[in-house]
Each structure stands twice: as C-alpha cells, then as structure tokens.
Amino acid sequence: MAEGVKPRVKVPKTASAGETVTIKTLISHPMESGQRKDKEGNVIPRSIINRFVVDFNGENVIDVVLAPAISTNPYFEFDAKVPESGEFTFTWHDDDGDVYTENKAIEVS
Amino acid sequence: MELTRRQTLALGVATGMTLVLPLPALAAVEEVGGIDDFTGGATPSDSGVTVTAPEIAENGNTVPIAVDAPGAVEIRVYATGNPLPGIATFRFGPLAGSQSASTRVRLSGTQDVVAIAKMADGSFAQASKTVKVTIGGCGG
C-alpha cells in the first residue's frame, strides 16, 4: 500500500434543504504515473488511485475515473445537492486494491 | 517447546492461509479510454461544455483545470499531447449539484486540453483549451 495516505475533505456543517454545496477533497498519494524512470533507467511501476466515488445517503453524487495524468495528491472540487440531513461517503480506490474512505455528516436546518 | 506433528501441520496451514488471503480481489480497473471509444465516431457539437485552464502553466506537474457542462451525464477530459491522453472521466449522479468539477492534472508539454461531454439525450459536446507548459510534468 502507498504510505501515508490521508484523505482530507471539506464539507459545510449545515445547509438548507435542497441547497447545493461545494465540496473539496484532497488525498495525499504519490500517484506514480508509470512513465518515470529511476537512476538505473528502470521504469517505476504505476501506482495510482484509479477511482473516486462520492455518495450521499447511498445516492451517487459523482464518480470519477482517474488516469496517471492526475497530479500527485489528487484534488477534486464539485457541487452536491443536499435534500436532507445525512452523511457523505467518500471512497478512493487504489491500484493495489486498497480502499480509503472518509465520512462527513451534514445537518439540514 | 516441542512441536508435535499435529501442531506443525496446523502451523503450515495457517502460514499458507496468510500468504493467500492478503491478495486483493482483483477487480477490473477501468481506464479512461480513447476519444473514439467514447463518442463512437459521432461528431460532437461545439457548445455546451467549457474547459477552464490557465493560458500558461509554469509547472506541468500540477495544472488546475475545471470542466462544466450543464445537463451532462458524463465528461471525459483528454490531454492530446500526453503519452497517455486520457486524464479523467467524471460521471454525475442524481445528487450532483452541477455538472462541473475541477482538479489538477499533469501535462507533458504545450498542448490542447479537450473535454467531451455526453448529454442526457445521448449527444456529445466538445471544447478545448490550449495550455502553454514551461516545464513538462512527466518526469522523463
């Protein structure tokens, strides 16, 4: 597994029903592209996060397929509709089979 | 401690299990794929999608880009001059607040960043933006 992978997510704590909120996510990951070579000229094998999925109370918000062209520490910003109080689930899928998850609750007032 | 025959066998089985178990269930990893694979040869229209990217990027390792296509179900982004042109596929679910997203990408040199959006009615829209890159972002 890639070392020191730490997801960070920014979601507002509250929203009004049906409001659209902006979500920012960042996960520390080297995103080794498989294009680079080490000092001896050997290709450094690819090791990236290949998928990023966001759900809210089980319903899908966004589903991203990542290629090696996404920068180190993949960052995403997008909008989500919040119909009721609940929880966002963020999942990142690593090439090596690891899955990193993060949850954030939001309160509808 | 003296190991009996039974204990040795059990130990062997346990070691075997730990060797087998950590192998991840190898799910097929989805790739972004080529432009033609996506559009199926259909000619995309010129309006309906926008790409935002800087005119000049000093460092090709992190170039901020944003795509926006109201009414799209899926947006794919390509860097036509990269060794692997596909950058990302964005699919929007029922709770997407808008059909837009931004991220940071690697560009190997000066080139066009192309976004193709698939609309809810099955049509395609395309937009591109030229980015001048001072230092390429592919390691070399």
Residues of B in contact with A79 (CB under 8 A): 96-98, 100
Whether A43 is in a domain gets the answer yes
Q: What's the number of domains chain A is made of?
A: 1
For strand A14-15 and strand A49-56, is the pairing parallel, antiparallel, or unpaired? unpaired
Task: Tell me whether residues A20 and B137 touch, CB distance under 8 A.
Answer: no
Supply the pLDDT for residue A98.
92
Q: How far apart are CA B20 and CA B22, in angstroms?
A: 6
* A79: contact with B, CB 8 A cutoff: yes
Inform me whether the pLDDT recorded for B121 exceeds 50. yes
Q: Which domains does chain B have, with CATH numbers?
A: 5-135 (2.60.40.2470)
Residue of B nearest to A21 (CA): B97
Task: Report the DSSP beta bridge partners of residue A26.
Answer: A8, A75
CB nearest to A79's CB, from B62, B96, B137 = B96
CB atoms within 10 A of CB B108: 19
Supply the pLDDT for residue A42.
93
Inform me whether the pLDDT recorded for B128 exceeds 80. yes
Q: pLDDT by residue (tens digit) across B71-92?
A: 999 999 999 999 999 999 999 9
pTM: 0.83
Q: How far apart are CA B84 and CA B32, in angstroms?
A: 10
CA atoms within 13 A of residue B119's CA, in its CB half-sphere: 16
Task: Tell me whether residues A71 and B83 touch, CB distance under 8 A.
Answer: no
The mean per-residue pLDDT over the stretch B101-108 comes to: 95
Assembly ipTM: 0.91
Residue of A nearest to B97 (CA): A80
Whether A16 is in a domain gets the answer yes
B95, B99, B107, B111, best to mutate vs chain A, most A CBs in 10 Å: B95
Q: Which residues contact B75 (CB under 8 A, 6 or more apart)?
A: B49, B67, B69, B89, B90, B99, B101, B115, B116, B117, B118
Residue of A nearest to B61 (CA): A71
Q: Hey, is B71 helix, strand or coil?
A: coil
Residues of B in contact with A68 (CB under 8 A): 84, 106
The mean per-residue pLDDT over the stretch B105-131 comes to: 94
The mean per-residue pLDDT over the stretch B98-113 comes to: 94
Supply the pLDDT for residue B113.
95
Residues of B in contact with A51 (CB under 8 A): 29-30
Whether A1 is in a domain gets the answer no
Domain that holds residue A31: 6-108
In which band, very low, low, confident or very high, does the pLDDT at B12 lie, cut at 50, 70 and 90?
Answer: low
- Token pair in block for residue A72: 């180190």
In which band, very low, low, confident or very high, does the pLDDT at B21 lie, cut at 50, 70 and 90?
Answer: very low
Supply the pLDDT for residue B112.
94
Whether A38 is in a domain gets the answer yes
Q: How far apart are CA A63 and CA B75, in angstroms?
A: 11
The mean per-residue pLDDT over the stretch A81-86 comes to: 94
Whether A83 is in a domain gets the answer yes
Whether A55 is in a domain gets the answer yes
CB nearest to A95's CB, from B29, B96, B102 = B29
In which band, very low, low, confident or very high, does the pLDDT at A4 lie, cut at 50, 70 and 90?
Answer: confident
CATH of the domain at A71: 2.60.40.10
CB nearest to B101's CB, from A36, A60, A62 = A62
CB nearest to A62's CB, from B29, B32, B90 = B90
- Token pair in block for residue A17: 């029903």
Q: Which of A71-75, B22-26, B34-38, B90-94 has the lowest mean pLDDT?
A: B22-26
* A84: contact with B, CB 8 A cutoff: no
The mean pLDDT value of chain A amounts to: 93
CB nearest to A64's CB, from B79, B90, B100 = B90
Inform me whether the pLDDT recorded for B32 exceeds 50. yes
Whether A24 is in a domain gets the answer yes
Higher pLDDT, B3 or B82: B82
pLDDT > 90 in chain B, percent = 59
